[in-house]
C-alpha cells in the first residue's frame, strides 16, 4: 500500500516524498482513512511506529479544505506530555504541511511566554501544547477554543504517569462538545480506559501490536555488574563496542549529571538532559546529540517517550526502571521505523526485583553477557527500611547531593544578607540635632506626635505671634469666629474662648452691681437653688508652688500632656475627661460650651 491509496492530497504527498516516506506504517494505514472521514480514532501502538504522521496528515488535509483568509482561530489542538515531544510534533506539522497555507505553533513551559503569546495572537490553525502552559495561558484569557474542530491526545498513558491526568480532564471542559478526537496511547491502564469512554464517540479502534510489547528487531543484552563498576563498564562499551551514538537512562537527575561528568572525564563527549535543566539547555543538548557533536546523551525518563532520533544505535539502561512498561519505552528509542538497534541493561544486586518484573512483562528472559571485565561480586543486597522497601543507594545519593547544593546556596547568600543591614545603620546617625537639644531650642514646645495635625493647625490658624511663643495662636482665638473653617480634630481640641469671655463678663457685672441682682432676678430664679460660683479656667489656676502654668497645647492633650495631674480644689467630685465649666444659670447648656463633643456630660442642680 502507498500513501496515494490512503486518500491524501497532492501537497501532502509531495512533502512526504521529500522526507523519504515511501510506504505507510501499519498504524498509518489503519488510522489515516477514518481520520480523513471525521471519525474518532483510538490508536494503540508502540512508540516509534509513526503515530505523529497518522494524525498530522489527516489534520492538515481537513483544515486546508476549509481554510479562510483573515483571522485564524485555533481549529486543531494537540496535547502532549513533554516539551521535547511537543517540539517534535510541531516540526512534523511544519514538514508535512510546507506546501499548504496553514499556520502552527507550539507552547510549553520552562521558557518565557512572550514569543509564544505573540505567535498565537498572529493567528494559528494548529496548536501543539503541554498541559501546564496551556492551562496558564487559557486562565490568562489568551486562548480561545470556540472554533476548535479537532483534538488530539498523544501519549495518554504517559500523561497518567506524569500526573497530568487531572489537568487533561480540566482542559476537556474548555473544549467544544462537537469535535473530532484522535486518542493515541502505548498502553491502556484502567484510568485511560475510563477517559476514553468519556471522550470518544463510536471510535475506530486501531491496535497494531500487543500492549507493551517490545520491538522485535532490537538486540537486548543484560550485564550483571556491581554498582561501583557500572561507569567503568559503560566507558569500556562506548569506546570498544562499536557504538555510534548512545542514549543512557539513569534513575535520578543527580545520577544523570554524575554519569555525564564521568564520561567526559573518560574522553567521551557527553551531555545530560533532565527536568532540572532549562529548556534552552535541553534543546541545545538534544541538538548537539542529533548533530553528532555529542556521542552520549544521559537522560532521565523524561526522554523515554517521544524523542525521535534517527539511526540511534544503542540505548543503555544504567539503572533499571521501577515500572516494567518504562523499559519498553526506553529501548523503543532505537529500532525506529524498522531499523535495527541494541539495548544494553546493567543490573546490580539491588535491582533483582526490577529485572524480574521486566522479564515477566516480556515473557522471556533478557540474554545475559557473562564474559566482561567487571562481573558482579557483591551478592548481599542492602537492608530494607521499616516498610520493607529496599533503600536504594541512588536515591540516597541524590538526596545528599541536593542537601549539599542547598547548603552551598545558603552559604553564598549569607555574606549578601550580612551586608544589607549594615547600610542603613549609618543613616540614623546622620541627623545633626538629637532629641534633647531640640527641646532646649524650642523651650518647651510640644513634640510633633502627629505631623499631619501640626501642619493642619499651622495652615488653618493665622500666625499673629512669633514661632517662639509657647502656645500656638490658633488656641488664643475663637476657631468658629471668622471665615476660617478648621478640621474636625482641631475643632474638638480648641478651647472655647467665646464661652469663657461670656462667663467673665457676667461675673464682672455681678461684682459691680451686687445690690441690684436680687431685685432684678425673675421669680423662677428666686425659687431655684443658687448657682455655684464658676471656677476659674484651668489654664489660669496656680500650681502648688505659686507659679502660673502655661496653657496646654493641642498636641499635649493628644500625647497625654506629659504633665503631672493637678488636684482639683474643694470637695468637688473627681471626673474623668476635660476641665469642668460652670453652667449658665437659667439657660440650657449648649454643646459648644462642652470641652469635648465626643464625651458630653450633663450637669444637674441636685
Inform me whether the pLDDT recorded for 567 exceeds 70. Answer: no
8 A C-beta contact, residue 345 and residue 214: no
Q: Is 109 helix (H, G, I), strand (E, B) or coil?
A: coil
Q: What is the CATH number of the domain that holds 285?
A: 3.40.50.300
| pLDDT tens digit sequence for 130-151 | 999 999 999 999 999 999 999 9
Under the banding of pLDDT at 50, 70 and 90, the label for residue 305 is: low
pLDDT (0 to 100) of residue 491: 60
Ranked by mean pLDDT, which of 411-420, 428-437, 551-560 comes out on top? 411-420
- Domain residues for the domain of 290 are 218-381
Kindly state whether residues 170 and 288 are assigned to the same domain.
Answer: no
Distance CA 330, CA 301 (A): 8
Under the banding of pLDDT at 50, 70 and 90, the label for residue 280 is: confident
Q: Is residue 124 part of a domain?
A: yes
Kindly state whether residues 169 and 288 are assigned to the same domain.
Answer: no
* Best CA proximity match to 119, nearest among 129, 454, 244: 129
Partners of 106 in the β-ladder: 128
- Please compute the mean of the pLDDT values over residues 519-534 and round it to a whole number: 48
Q: Is residue 489 part of a domain?
A: no
Inform me whether the pLDDT recorded for 262 exceeds 60. Answer: yes
Higher pLDDT, residue 182 or 254 = 182
Sequence-distant (6+) residues with CB within 8 A of 298 are 248, 249, 250, 256, 257, 259, 260, 263, 270, 271, 272, 273, 318
Q: Is residue 520 part of a domain?
A: no
Kindly state whether residues 153 and 267 are assigned to the same domain.
Answer: no
pLDDT (0 to 100) of residue 57: 95
Residue ranges with strand state E in 90-170: 104-107, 126-129, 150-153
Q: Is residue 395 part of a domain?
A: no
Kindly state whether residues 197 and 272 are assigned to the same domain.
Answer: no
Q: Is 78 helix (H, G, I), strand (E, B) or coil?
A: strand
Residue ranges with strand state E in 87-172: 104-107, 126-129, 150-153
Partners of 183 in the β-ladder: 42, 153
Distance CA 330, CA 13 (A): 31
Distance CA 452, CA 445 (A): 17
Show which of 331, 359, 381 is a domain's final residue: 381
How many domains does one find in the chain?
A: 2
8 A C-beta contact, residue 363 and residue 210: no
Show which of 381, 406, 422 is a domain's final residue: 381
Kindly state whether residues 198 and 293 are assigned to the same domain.
Answer: no
Kindly state whether residues 200 and 249 are assigned to the same domain.
Answer: no
Kindly state whether residues 80 and 184 are assigned to the same domain.
Answer: yes
8 A C-beta contact, residue 187 and residue 325: yes
Distance CA 159, CA 166 (A): 9
Average pLDDT, the chain: 74
- Which H helix or E strand runs over 88? helix 83-96
Ranked by mean pLDDT, which of 210-224, 445-459, 525-539, 588-602 comes out on top? 210-224
DSSP code per residue over 565-603? PPPPSTTPPP-SSS---PPPTTSPPPGGGSS-SSS----
| pLDDT tens digit sequence for 21-50 | 888 988 999 999 999 999 999 998 776 678
Torsion-angle region of 100 (φ positive above 0: left; ψ -120 to 50: alpha; else: beta): beta
Q: Is residue 44 part of a domain?
A: yes
Kindly state whether residues 223 and 202 are assigned to the same domain.
Answer: no
Q: Is residue 20 part of a domain?
A: yes
Kindly state whether residues 244 and 105 are assigned to the same domain.
Answer: no
Q: What is the DSSP letter of 292?
A: T
pLDDT (0 to 100) of residue 270: 93
Inform me whether the pLDDT recorded for 15 exceeds 90. Answer: yes
pLDDT (0 to 100) of residue 404: 75
Distance CA 135, CA 153 (A): 15
Higher pLDDT, residue 107 or 71 = 107
Kindly state whether residues 108 and 8 are assigned to the same domain.
Answer: yes
This prediction has a pTM of 0.54
Kindly state whether residues 168 and 274 are assigned to the same domain.
Answer: no
Show which of 381, 414, 439 is a domain's final residue: 381
Kindly state whether residues 281 and 364 are assigned to the same domain.
Answer: yes
Q: Is residue 102 part of a domain?
A: yes
All three cell numbers of 192 = 485511560
Q: Is residue 576 part of a domain?
A: no
Inform me whether the pLDDT recorded for 356 exceeds 90. Answer: yes
| pLDDT tens digit sequence for 461-506 | 555 545 545 544 544 555 555 555 555 565 666 565 555 555 555 5
For residue 10, how many other CB atoms are within 10 A of its CB?
Answer: 9
Amino acid at each position: 500500500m502507498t500513501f496515494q491509496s490512503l486518500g491524501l492530497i497532492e501537497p501532502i504527498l509531495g512533502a512526504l516524498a521529500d522526507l523519504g516516506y515511501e510506504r505507510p506504517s501499519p498504524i498509518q494505514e489503519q488510522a489515516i482513512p477514518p481520520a480523513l472521514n471525521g471519525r474518532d480514532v483510538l490508536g494503540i501502538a508502540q512508540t516509534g511506529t509513526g503515530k505523529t504522521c497518522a494524525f498530522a496528515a489527516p489534520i492538515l488535509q481537513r483544515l486546508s479544505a476549509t481554510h479562510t483568509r483573515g483571522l485564524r482561530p485555533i481549529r486543531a489542538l494537540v496535547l502532549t506530555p513533554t516539551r521535547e515531544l511537543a517540539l517534535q510534533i510541531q516540526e512534523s506539522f511544519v514538514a508535512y504541511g510546507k506546501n499548504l497555507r496553514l499556520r502552527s505553533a507550539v507552547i510549553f513551559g520552562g521558557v518565557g511566554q512572550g514569543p509564544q503569546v505573540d505567535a498565537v495572537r498572529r493567528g494559528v490553525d494548529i496548536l501543539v501544547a503541554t498541559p501546564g502552559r496551556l492551562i496558564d495561558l487559557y486562565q490568562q484569557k489568551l486562548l480561545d477554543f470556540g472554533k476548535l474542530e479537532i483534538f488530539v491526545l498523544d501519549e495518554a498513558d504517559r500523561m497518567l504517569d506524569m500526573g497530568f491526568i487531572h489537568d487533561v480532564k480540566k482542559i476537556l471542559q474548555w473544549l467544544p462538545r462537537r469535535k473530532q478526537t484522535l486518542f493515541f496511547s502505548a498502553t491502556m491502564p484502567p484510568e485511560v480506559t475510563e477517559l476514553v469512554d468519556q471522550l470518544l464517540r463510536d471510535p475506530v479502534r486501531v491496535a497494531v501490536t500487543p500492549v507493551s510489547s517490545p520491538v522485535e528487531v532490537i538486540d537486548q543484552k543484560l550485564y550483571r555488574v556491581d554498582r561501583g563498576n557500572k561507569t567503568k563498564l559503560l566507558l569500556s562499551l562506548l569506546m570498544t563496542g562499536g557504538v555510534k551514538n548512545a542514549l543512557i537512562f539513569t534513575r535520578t537527575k543527580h545520577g544523570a549529571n554524575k554519569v555525564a561528568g564521568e564520561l567526559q572525564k573518560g574522553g567521551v563527549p557527553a551531555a545530560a538532559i533532565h527536568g532540572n535543566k532549562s529548556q534552552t539547555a535541553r534543546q541545545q543538548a538534544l541538538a548537539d546529540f542529533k548533530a553528532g557533536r555529542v556521542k552520549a546523551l544521559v537522560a532521565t525518563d523524561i526522554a523515554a517517550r517521544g524523542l525521535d532520533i534517527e539511526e540511534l544505535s544503542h540505548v543503555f539502561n544504567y539503572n533499571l526502571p521501577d515500572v516494567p512498561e518504562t523499559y519498553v519505552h526506553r529501548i523503543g528509542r532505537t529500532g525506529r521505523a524498522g531499523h535495527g538497534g541494541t539495548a544494553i541493561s546493567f543490573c546490580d544486586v539491588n535491582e533483582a526485583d526490577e529485572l524480574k518484573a521486566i522479564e515477566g512483562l516480556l515473557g522471556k528472559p533478557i540474554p545475559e553477557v557473562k564474559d566482561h571485565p567487571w562481573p558482579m561480586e557483591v551478592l548481599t543486597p542492602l537492608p530494607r527500611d521499616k516498610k520493607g522497601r529496599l533503600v536504594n543507594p541512588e536515591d540516597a545519593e541524590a538526596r545528599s547531593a541536593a542537601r549539599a547544593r542547598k547548603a552551598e546556596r545558603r552559604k553564598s547568600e549569607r555574606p549578601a544578607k550580612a551586608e544589607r543591614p549594615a547600610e542603613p545603620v549609618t543613616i540614623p546617625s546622620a541627623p545633626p540635632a538629637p532629641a534633647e537639644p531640640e527641646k532646649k531650642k524650642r523651650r518647651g514646645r510640644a513634640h510633633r506626635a502627629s505631623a499631619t495635625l501640626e501642619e493642619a493647625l499651622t495652615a488653618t490658624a493665622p500666625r499673629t505671634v512669633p514661632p517662639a511663643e509657647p502656645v500656638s495662636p490658633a488656641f488664643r482665638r475663637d476657631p468658629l469666629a471668622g471665615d476660617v473653617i478648621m478640621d474636625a480634630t482641631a475643632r474638638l481640641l480648641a478651647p472655647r474662648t467665646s464661652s469663657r469671655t461670656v462667663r467673665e463678663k457676667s461675673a464682672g457685672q455681678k461684682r459691680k452691681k451686687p445690690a441690684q441682682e436680687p431685685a432684678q432676678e425673675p421669680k423662677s430664679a428666686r425659687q431655684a437653688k443658687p448657682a455655684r460660683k464658676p471656677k476659674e479656667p484651668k489654664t489660669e489656676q496656680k500650681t502648688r508652688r505659686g507659679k502660673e502654668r502655661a496653657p496646654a497645647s493641642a498636641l499635649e492633650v493628644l500625647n497625654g500632656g506629659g504633665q503631672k495631674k493637678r488636684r482639683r480644689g474643694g470637695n468637688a467630685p473627681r471626673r474623668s475627661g476635660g476641665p469642668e465649666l460652670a453652667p449658665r444659670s437659667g439657660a440650657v447648656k449648649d454643646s459648644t460650651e462642652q470641652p469635648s463633643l465626643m464625651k458630653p456630660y450633663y450637669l444637674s442642680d441636685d
